[in-house]
Structure 1
């Protein structure tokens, strides 16, 4: 009936049904027949009812429709993941389900039919992250997926991964908190919990995808970063991005790409050493020691991976000097991470505006739309889209070149603003929070109104919208 009202090409819908029932063609024909009956009825009884017309077009090019969880699952598969430890939780469960489906299709031994990955459903989230850390320590590429409530339970072992320096990959599909919150609503409210997961002085790299393509790219990249930096890396998706379908660029993979396993010594390299090897000894100034995998050499390269205080040779110690050296080296490694994570995307006017806006993740499309509307009304605001934490130097350069910067995010307390102020030692009054946290995807109309109000409070007037302007969703 809708096809008739919108004057849509019935053949396109029929072809779609045939593809839908490709595995059971017998079901396609009765569904197509029902489609034709409804179409004929609407044509006969409701002619010229709707003035809207839908026409077929190829203007989308090679763009695809995909949800972020499926893209993340494919990113893990292409990134080399062979072990999954997980516990079901909304809205991340479909990542593991999709990973299992694709692994069953593309990671099967041809001669035996055996699956070449291990997917282990754990008793709880703490056990799930423990499986990942154990498998990663043994040399596998392993990951888990969870949401905010799961992160709370994984915090203890994320601290172990940080201090024992074990590569770990976690995909956090954020939902509304705190506590159980609203499991079927979206937020960006786990930033602080993930950036500093664990007690003590702890920092974890965060990757901030804005569409399914980046969910794919960044999940794959997370494994390289985790092994290069020997630390947990967390991909920060959310329910809107993860579970809803989005329109965007196709996924792509370079067949010549090789995994970055970081500083892993093999048996020959251990034999060639002329000095005593230390697991936590930084020999080239990047804050990262070299590691070995179990069974590499019968005598050399053995160490104790521990969450207790240790020296450069992994020996337990409560010596203050050794502890300070470890913590300072980890701080230096954090600076190395700053040079390796994805850089921001900046759009600046010429000359640069004195106003700026920072946003990230699923907030991106609405933020761009809102700021483009304000630009059309004569108010230029330069933009920076964050893609990772720690923040590369360009982020602070962008802030320092502007009088006022709005930080747009989907949580109540302005968590990204807090991270920016802390990491950049910035004056708080230079960063203004624009927050939306009702659990629904943020709308551009809301952002336009919030920005107008924030500017008015600071004596900046925005030219009114002309007729037809500002009618954004």
Structure 2
């Protein structure tokens, strides 16, 4: 009712359909909550709790009496669940009927029996149970102009608007639907007047091949990206190092999931932060963007393509399964038709012909970013050898110490230049001065916003900063310095963002208090508020003793 979009935490109503997980499911229900189950077969009293409300509906019994086909009995039982719950929760039945109608549009033979099953469930509850429950669904008009979309589709559309013409990928949960959405949008928006495709989408034989294709396309001047998740990212590391060292524009959208190894393919985490920040062997540092919702997935995917060109380096868009595969409400997308693509420092044939100095890996402007040329720019000038080995500013092979140090320092300077180009952090000050702050990022955002209000209601004031990119601008350091302690909220075991902050700023780790959630489910406002309230109480006692 207050418009929060994150998960609050706790279970008010459990629809228990799986006997194997019954005990664990019942244990999760809040005191005073509701257990809804199929009571066609009686269960011993030990299977229930005295502090919750029990609602039994004989769904199997109703289905057996109504249908002779065993398959229909199972399929329509699920629809009866919905019908029964719609009465108990006071959900408008026309809404459900409309959704079922959309699902079976043009399939009247399937539509009619599904609607009949819906009303079978409704009729039984109306006749036998008090309704509605104290817990119910209220219809409200609080959406405004917001749209309902999943992050993967939003990121794919951002790539289309951002000028991507090449996508090479290998299927992996939870990123596959991003490449599929890109193909769908390209078929609509990237065809010429004669219907010819102006894009290339390649499903490669593996992640190594896909990133190799993207590196090759980026070297050739195309805007190219790949999308993957943790295991695929691990396979891509050698090519990521090549793109970093040879300075080739590449965009990688990492839809994070639970790791390591195969881990939890259908669960969410923010556990690739360090793996992406320092991807590949040797000394590397990569630009990471952290969108909080589908709207920023759209914005940041388009921005990543610009940044890759401007910085001539891999750019990572760090989403996760929670954002990527779940539909969320967000602000509508917007695009300025006059907005051009920033291809960065690309030397033209005219500039080469005029005698302008070209040395592929030389810093001519003092920002660490060299000039490049596209293949075939000039018949005689601007050519260079692209290599993953050490070289001098003229791109000639060299293992001389001074050449190597010059190049590595220039890459570091380029990374420093990126601080002014990436999305800046968003700071929110509490209503009253606070000694404590909190840093968060990505999909943690909806739960964090609700947690802030919960903490405010408990008398705990907290300033917050949402990190939107790495490298961290100096404003992040200033925020930390302005507070005695700062909570760092993230969804991984090892406090990876916290480690990155400590490593980059040389901060005393004791000042950054880790709040970690990593069971694979999306973080909740309750978890955040309880963790911060508990730590704040401990710190207050220690402060008084001191």
Q: TM-score, normalised by structure 2?
A: 0.80
Structure 2 CA distance for partners of 1:50 and 1:237, relative to 1, 3 Å: same
> Match for residue 341 of structure 1?
422
Tell me if the contact between 2:436 and 2:486 (Cα under 8 Å) persists in the aligned partners: yes
> Match for residue 173 of structure 1?
255
How does 1:431-470 map onto structure 2 within 5 Å? 431-460=512-541
Residue 222 of structure 1, CA deviation: 0.4
> Match for residue 71 of structure 1?
154
Residue among 346, 349, 353 paired with 1:267: 349
Counterpart CA distance in 1 for 2:304 and 2:113 is: 44
Q: Does 1:123 align with 2:205?
A: yes
Q: Does 1:251 align with 2:333?
A: yes
Residue 66 of structure 1, CA deviation: 1.5
Tell me if the contact between 1:208 and 1:387 (Cα under 8 Å) persists in the aligned partners: yes
Counterpart CA distance in 1 for 2:480 and 2:126 is: 62
> Match for residue 499 of structure 2?
418
Counterpart CA distance in 2 for 1:7 and 1:165 is: 59
Structure 2 CA distance for partners of 1:443 and 1:44, relative to 1, 3 Å: closer
Residue 458 of structure 1, CA deviation: 2.5
Q: Return the index of the structure with the highest Cα Rg.
A: 2
Q: Does 1:205 align with 2:300?
A: no
Structure 2 CA distance for partners of 1:58 and 1:31, relative to 1, 3 Å: farther
> Match for residue 189 of structure 1?
271
Residue among 167, 176, 187 paired with 1:84: 167
Residue 181 of structure 1, CA deviation: 1.1
> Match for residue 313 of structure 2?
231
- 3-state DSSP class of the match of 2:279? coil
Residue 87 of structure 1, CA deviation: 1.1
Residue among 366, 379, 387 paired with 1:306: 387
Residue range with higher mean Cα deviation, 435-444 or 222-231? 435-444
Residue 17 of structure 1, CA deviation: 4.5
| Deviation per residue, 1:152-210 (Å, 9 max, x gap) | 11111111111100000000111111111111111111111100001111000000011
Aligned length: 459
Residue 266 of structure 1, CA deviation: 1.9
- 3-state DSSP class of the match of 1:258? coil
Structure 2 CA distance for partners of 1:452 and 1:461, relative to 1, 3 Å: farther
Residue among 217, 220, 228 paired with 1:146: 228
- 3-state DSSP class of the match of 1:96? helix
Residue range with higher mean Cα deviation, 113-122 or 185-194? 113-122
> Match for residue 288 of structure 1?
369
Counterpart CA distance in 2 for 1:351 and 1:449 is: 21
Counterpart CA distance in 2 for 1:460 and 1:261 is: 55
Tell me if the contact between 1:5 and 1:42 (Cα under 8 Å) persists in the aligned partners: no
Residue 221 of structure 1, CA deviation: 0.6
Q: Does 1:240 align with 2:322?
A: yes
Residue among 472, 476, 480 paired with 1:395: 476
Counterpart CA distance in 1 for 2:485 and 2:507 is: 12
Tell me if the contact between 1:240 and 1:441 (Cα under 8 Å) persists in the aligned partners: yes
Tell me if the contact between 1:17 and 1:31 (Cα under 8 Å) persists in the aligned partners: no
Q: TM-score, normalised by structure 1?
A: 0.91
Q: Does 1:158 align with 2:158?
A: no
| Deviation per residue, 1:214-270 (Å, 9 max, x gap) | 111111110000001000000111111111222222222222211111111221122
| Deviation per residue, 1:137-163 (Å, 9 max, x gap) | 101111001111111111111111111
5+ residue gaps, structure 1, are 463-473
| Deviation per residue, 1:38-88 (Å, 9 max, x gap) | 487358525751145545432210112221111111111111111111111
Q: Does 1:99 align with 2:99?
A: no
Residue 327 of structure 1, CA deviation: 1.0
